[in-house]
Structure 1
Amino acid sequence: MLIREPRTAQEACDVIAITHLAAAYAEAVSRGEIAEACLTYAEDGELHTPTTEPAIGRAAVIETITRNTADLEFIFQTVHQGLVVVDGDTAHARFPITEWARRRSDGRPIQFLGVYDDVCVRTADGWRFARRTLLPRTMARPEGLTGRAVELPAPALPA
Structure 2
Amino acid sequence: MSMPNSDRLIARLVDEAAIRDATARFADAGTFGDYDAFRDLWAEGGVWTIGKPFEARAEGPDDIVAMFKKLKEPKEFFVQFAFQGPIVIDGDTARARTLVHEEGRGPGDTGFRCHSVTNDLLRRTGDRWLFVRRDFQYIWLDTANFAGDVFKVSPAV
Report the TM-score when normalising by structure 2: 0.86
Of residues 131-140 and 31-40 in structure 1, the stretch that sits farther from structure 2 once superposed is 31-40
Corresponding residue to 2:142 among 134, 140, 143 = 140
Q: Which segments of 5 or more consecutive residues in structure 1 lack a partner in the other structure? A: 1-6
Tell me how many residue pairs correspond in the alignment.
148
1:76 maps to amino acid: V
Equivalent of 1:72, from 63, 69, 75? 75
SS of 1:19 mapped into structure 2: helix
CA-CA distance at 1:141 after TM superposition: 3.8
Instruction: Provide the residue aligned with 1:54 in structure 2.
Output: 57
Aligned pair partner of 1:127 in 126, 129, 138? 129
Gapped regions of structure 2 (runs ≥ 5):
1-7
Which residue matches 2:24? 23
Deviation, structure 1 residue 125: 5.7
**Stretches of 4+ moved more than 3 A in 1?**
141-144
Q: Which of these two proteins has the greater Rg computed from alpha carbons?
A: 2
What fraction of aligned residue pairs are identical, expressed as a percent?
26
| Counterparts of 2:150 and 2:13, CA distance in 1 | 38
Q: Is the 8 A contact 1:19 1:82 kept in 2?
A: no
Q: Structure 1 residue 40: deviation in Å?
A: 1.1
- Structure 1 window deviating more from structure 2 (76-85 vs 64-73): it is 64-73
Aligned alpha-carbon RMSD (Å): 1.8
